[in-house]
Structure 1
Amino acid sequence: MKTPGIPANEPQRLSELHALKILNTPAEERFDRLTRLAKRLFNVSVSVVSLLDAEHQWFKSGDGISVTQTARDISFCGHAILQDDVMVVENACNDPRFYDNPLVIGEPHIRFYAGCPLRAPNGAKVGTLCILDNQARTFNGEDVCALRDLASMAEAELLNFQAATSDELTQISNRRGFMTLGQMLLKECALRHYSACLAFFDLDQFKQINDTFGHREGDRALMDFADALKTSFRQSALFARLGGDEFVVLFIDTNQQQANARLEDFRAELQRYMEPLDRRYRLDFSVGMVEFDPTQPQPLTGLLSQSDDIMYQHKKARRQRH
């Protein structure tokens, strides 16, 4: 096993890392959404936002892994921060740096690794966005570009970009964050010939909640709905609050029949989620769904417009029934 070298600017690098004030902080949706998407997009077993301190690599976010840190001297990411671009190990068993690494010969039995360095404001590499798998695999130029794009978003979050991409009230993606990630995911769907579906939600009777119980209770309803989205779709989709009482979910590698079934399940899941909260109102929604065709890709703005129109038709029909 080859122990990773120490960067020439190590004191400065560590100073920049500690200045971010992010080490050993709780999990945050703004990072978790990136590792979830990376794991799903590349169909790997693990994805991680890793930060390298003097002796350890610590995971700000990890999907598919239960530990929160490992020793730096056995880390793949320790090697990755010595490079300027994505480091790819297609088969660790054939790589003289890693074939006898404890993380290769033991849990989690790493075979494939790809990691893109994350930089602090002065350019020091403080960690990586990386993906791992227990099967050897190839990683082409398009894959490298996609991982680099996701890493640039993780970098932006490290640089206190949260307010620009996260909704302050609900702590899920806002419109800007959704448009940035969503358009990138649709591009990957077109390249990989994945289907996708976009669901546009509007809360029913939301104005009545505000008028009857006050805006503070209206804010609580929005937070409840966002929390229900997290519970139901955290592992399978990108979701966001677009503004007001409008929310959106983007299902990846999912056709319209599958997405419709998930929405029906979600309606029941929402009621189960709300029941123990004992609110003075019932939370329900109208929704519009459109399917993304990878052979004739549409921009995300077009899908949003279509799903918005369908949602309002759905809302009108629900009002007439009630």
Structure 2
Amino acid sequence: MAVARIFGKSSMEALQRETDRLAALERLDLLDTPRDEGFDRIVRLIKAVFAVDIGLVSLIDAHRQWYKACSGLSSDEVSREDTFCRHVVDREEPIVVTDATKDQRFSYHPAVTGETHIRFYAGVPLKTKEGHIIGTVCAIDRSPRSFGNRELAILEELAGAAMDRIELLQSAATDSLTEALTRRAFKQEADLFISLALRHQHDLSCIVLDIDHFKQVNDTYGHAAGDEVLKSVAATCKAALRAGDLFGRLGGEEFAIILPHVDREGAVAVAEKVRSAISSQPVCGDYGTLSVTASLGIAGLSIVSKDIETLLAQADAAMYQAKNRGRNRCVSWSTVQAEHTMGSRRRVLKAGSILFNDRRSTIDCTVKSLGIDSAGLSVSSSAGIPPEFVLSIKGEGFETNCQIIAQDRQNLEVVFR
């Protein structure tokens, strides 16, 4: 009742729609997944068919618009508040802006007034079969232009093709670039490994590794060089592992390993072996010779960490610590746990707010995993966020004090105080 009094009926309906939308996006588990040629082809088609500068297929979570495929822009995501596409999600219908300088919603937008120089925008919803809008498909240009019903119908067909591709990827087991398991397939297989370990009471460990300074490789040498680095790291990892180990690609430059019948001490030794192998294997090409390193986090099966989401959350937290301690190193969750406890987690996708400075400062975030005593958060930038703050989950009446235990530039692991 208190929430209803504060927000009103229409606001409550909007909050419920957003909650349902994020839940649909969470079920697909597509955010921050690797590039895919099928989506790249769609954005190339958008540019060719409409003769525009920019083609875009995006997913929109609680705080950002993330580009699953993009041609014509250098960034890979933007704050949700700073994107034209939030209006498509809010209105749940296509939007066409023939000249942004003459549209009061966008005429003062930095993308219009600044160097990006956006003038034309056409965005249509990326909609699931259940009707949830999880993102957008867009044609964007730096010159004003007309866009009739025929063009809009074609863009909607391309959005349908993008959604078909999403549905197809739900059954994909192998990442086409690295031949590692996809994130979804890795988690499914990991659940089976964990069930066996619990049933037969044998050890199991998890390693998460992230390639150091990978964005600089893409920005400096291009995506082709980045792809070669990814393939090299994946091949090096697989060569260092046993046939029965599980190896998957969680995101762009993040991989994970499940080690059955290996305790935490043994997993630290395996992680060090993998780290050393990666650092001693330079990647060579037309761009020259690149030295590659990775940061690794290790977590072991326990009475608390007996599901894949909790194991990954603990290994992630340890990996962020490895990054913070200088990169190219291995850190075990047990060393982080000496100072902080973390119970079991479940994967979620919820809209949250980070409140600090006596609640005068607010930063939107996406809650990615949640337990009774901890959470994993995603932010546009972790710079400036203090070590302790208040986390609020919108529309749920949830609010608690938090302390950061590990972080990188866009992710926070926090425990509740």
TM range (shorter): 0.3 to 0.5
The structure carrying a bigger strand percent of its residues is 2
Q: Normalising by structure 2, what TM-score?
A: 0.37
Q: Greater helix share, 1 or 2?
A: 1
